[in-house]
């Protein structure tokens, strides 16, 4: 039985060697024919171009930000006394000039300049509806729930929504 098994294994090895040896020689010839054709260079160039486009798109996606001002904004609620404060910080390297902070699209607060690293801690009742000249007509109620905030400066603007 051992001799029969050895003979069968030998036959199987010779058959697969003949089969795959032919495949190897045919595939080697096909590969050299493919490399000799001018389309091969073109397809390689297309593949490298596509890879480059994917890398470039990935970098653009990672470097893009809609916060052109580098503003950091936080809502801080305090229970006693019951107040809500808006914290705005300039995280950019440039001063913000002609700063206008608009709460919920209606009430605003204005400042001439906010230096790099500078911040404003504003209670809700510091925001006001103003006339065209800039005089405060009506201040926001302390109980107002902040929904949106826009920071507009001479150098750009940034808008954010608050989630409860």
Spatial distance between the Cα atoms of 148 and 8, rounded to a whole number of angstroms: 80
Predicted confidence at residue 146, as pLDDT, reads 94
- Second CATH level (architecture) for the domain 71-161: Sandwich (2.60)
Least confident of 22-26, 79-83, 132-136: 22-26
Predicted confidence at residue 54, as pLDDT, reads 94
Going from N- to C-terminal start, the domains of the chain cover 2-63, 71-161
Convert the pLDDT of each residue in 80-92 to its tens digit.
788 899 999 999 9
Spatial distance between the Cα atoms of 67 and 73, rounded to a whole number of angstroms: 11
Span between the terminal Cα atoms of the chain, in Å = 80
């Amino acid at each position: 039985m051992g001799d029969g098994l050895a003979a069968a294994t030998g036959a199987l090895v010779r058959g697969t060697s003949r089969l795959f040896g032919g495949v190897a020689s045919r595939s080697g010839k096909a590969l050299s024919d493919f490399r000799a054709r001018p389309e091969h260079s073109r397809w390689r160039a297309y593949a490298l171009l596509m890879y480059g486009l994917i890398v470039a798109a990935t970098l653009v996606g990672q470097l893009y930000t809609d916060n052109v001002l580098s503003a950091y904004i936080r809502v801080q609620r305090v229970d006693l006394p019951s107040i809500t404060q808006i914290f705005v910080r300039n995280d950019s390297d440039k001063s913000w000039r002609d700063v206008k902070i608009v709460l919920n699209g209606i009430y605003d607060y204005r400042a001439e300049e906010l230096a790099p690293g500078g911040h404003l801690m504003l209670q809700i009742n510091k925001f006001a509806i103003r006339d065209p000249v800039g005089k405060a007509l009506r201040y926001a109620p302390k109980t107002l729930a902040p929904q949106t905030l826009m920071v507009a400066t001479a150098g750009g603007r940034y808008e954010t929504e608050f989630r409860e």
